[in-house]
Amino acid sequence: MVDYIVVGLGLAGISFCEVLEENGKTFKVITDGSQQASQVAGGLYNPVILKRFTMAWKAKMQLQGAKPFYQKLEQKLGVTLDYELPVLRKFASIEEQNLWFEASDRPDLDYFLSTKIIPNNNPSINAPHGFGEVKHTGRIDTRALIRSYKSYLKNSGAFVEETFDFDALSISSDTVSYKDIIAKKLVFATGFGLKQNPYFGYLPLNGTKGELLIIHAPDYKENNVIKSSVFTIPMENDRYLVGATYKWQDKTNQPTEESKNELLRKLSTFLQCDFEVVDHVAGIRPTVVDRRPLVGRHPEHQNLYVLNGFGSRGVMIGPYASKQLFDFIEKQSELDPEMDIQRFTKKYYSN
């Protein structure tokens, strides 16, 4: 008998496992490779929406919790995960510079937006109007995180690699059993895989496909994240992530020629040096109709829970939403109503 079964090992599953461990709870994780959002993510943590120069939802508070969360994981797993990198937002015009200055005066944004215009001194970039700098930002190496976390769980005997078989689940009033595992509670953290879930499939998860390129560009020599029509994010060995696309129809994890061309076209508007594409990846972001996470207890089954809907900000939302869910289950705290799935209970009964 364990306290929890956690289904899914992306950013949601990992952050929930961490809260469980911190609180001395036992658990088993069941996961497959059917969804890959966390695996392919750019991993950026940036609280500012750079299209409109506004703060993302509760982002400052989430970031304050996320930083120590990933630092602790680095120590526990013995890997580097957090690469602190400023984001330089390329200005398209003088008007945009002015909008930036206005924004940098607003509460909260003033902590993140530098009031200096950074002139471009990289000959590989075309940016005549310079950049605005976002501070306290960076990148989590999500691929390294998943790889290390998997082997950590394997070593502790808590890892089961398989597609969750709903026919093998039975639910009673105070336990759930799945094959030979008996647990007090079960949390589904399956990203876009939630669509196939007979218990939580009623939730309005849309899914937005994203694709990224990895390029090798030895002459680029850029240590900051550059945000123009696409991001370039520095990695090791002169490689950079370039992304991402947003597509609402295609729900597969297959990279497409169309998105590759779109990314290359956008990249060519500011990158002026030679480069080679060395990889191309795709995944489905678990996006929700009202752009808020999906967290909470099943309307009828008291021991089934969901942790999902992190959209395009899983790195920052994961630690926050996981702690909220744990405190809700174990300490009877109220869930943040904006992410509580109770807002869709009517939908469950009308289905």
Q: Using an 8 Å Cβ cutoff, are 186 and 27 in contact?
A: no
Q: Which two tokens stand for residue 191?
A: 């990203």
Q: Which of 29, 41, 81, 339 binds ligand FAD (CB under 6 A)?
A: 41
Complex with ligand FAD: residue 122 or 208, whichever CB lies closer? 208
Instruction: Give the separation between CA 274 and CA 219, rounded to whole angstroms.
Output: 7
Q: Does 32 bind ligand FAD (CB under 6 A)?
A: yes
Complex with ligand FAD: residue 10 or 319, whichever CB lies closer? 10
Q: How far is the CB of 27 from ligand FAD (least distance, A)?
A: 15
* Residue 145: strand, helix, or coil: helix
Instruction: Give the separation between CA 226 and CA 86, rounded to whole angstroms.
Output: 9
Q: How far is the CB of 53 from ligand FAD (least distance, A)?
A: 18
Q: Does 190 bind ligand FAD (CB under 6 A)?
A: yes
Binders of ligand FAD: how many residues, by CB under 6 A? 43
Q: Does 324 bind ligand FAD (CB under 6 A)?
A: no
Complex with ligand FAD: residue 38 or 120, whichever CB lies closer? 38
Q: Using an 8 Å Cβ cutoff, are 181 and 5 in contact?
A: yes
Instruction: Give the separation between CA 89 and CA 63, rounded to whole angstroms.
Output: 19
Of 36-44, 257-265, 320-328, 330-338, the window that binds ligand FAD (rule: CB under 6 A) is 36-44
Complex with ligand FAD: residue 32 or 327, whichever CB lies closer? 32
Q: Which two tokens stand for residue 130?
A: 């310079």
> In terms of Cα–Cα distance, which of 232, 231, 234, 240 is closest to 277?
240
> In terms of Cα–Cα distance, which of 341, 86, 113, 111 is closest to 233?
86
Q: Which of 47, 132, 207, 243 binds ligand FAD (CB under 6 A)?
A: 243
Q: Does 40 bind ligand FAD (CB under 6 A)?
A: yes
Of 24-32, 99-107, 268-276, 332-340, the window that binds ligand FAD (rule: CB under 6 A) is 24-32
Q: Which two tokens stand for residue 140?
A: 């989590």
Total count of residues recorded for the chain = 351
Instruction: Give the separation between CA 119 and CA 60, rounded to whole angstroms.
Output: 27
> In terms of Cα–Cα distance, which of 143, 48, 41, 125 is closest to 87?
48
Q: How far is the CB of 206 from ligand FAD (least distance, A)?
A: 13
Q: Does 30 bind ligand FAD (CB under 6 A)?
A: yes
> In terms of Cα–Cα distance, which of 149, 61, 74 is closest to 336?
61
Complex with ligand FAD: residue 63 or 120, whichever CB lies closer? 63
Q: How far is the CB of 75 from ligand FAD (least distance, A)?
A: 21
Q: Does 306 bind ligand FAD (CB under 6 A)?
A: no
Ranges of H-type helices in 243-350: 257-267, 314-331, 345-350
Of 83-91, 98-106, 281-289, 325-333, the window that binds ligand FAD (rule: CB under 6 A) is 281-289
Q: Using an 8 Å Cβ cutoff, are 234 and 222 in contact?
A: yes
Q: Does 308 bind ligand FAD (CB under 6 A)?
A: yes
Complex with ligand FAD: residue 33 or 218, whichever CB lies closer? 33
Q: Does 228 bind ligand FAD (CB under 6 A)?
A: no
Q: Does 44 bind ligand FAD (CB under 6 A)?
A: yes
> In terms of Cα–Cα distance, which of 311, 335, 319 is closest to 49?
311
> In terms of Cα–Cα distance, which of 29, 22, 26 is closest to 12?
29
Residues 76-135 that bind ligand FAD (CB under 6 A): none
Q: Does 137 bind ligand FAD (CB under 6 A)?
A: no
Q: How far is the CB of 146 from ligand FAD (least distance, A)?
A: 8
Position 146: which residue type? I
Q: Does 151 bind ligand FAD (CB under 6 A)?
A: no
Instruction: Give the separation between CA 277 and CA 215, rounded to whole angstroms.
Output: 4
Could you list the residues that contact ligand FAD (CB under 6 A)?
7-13, 30-35, 37-38, 40-44, 163-164, 189-193, 210-212, 243-244, 283, 285-286, 308, 310-316
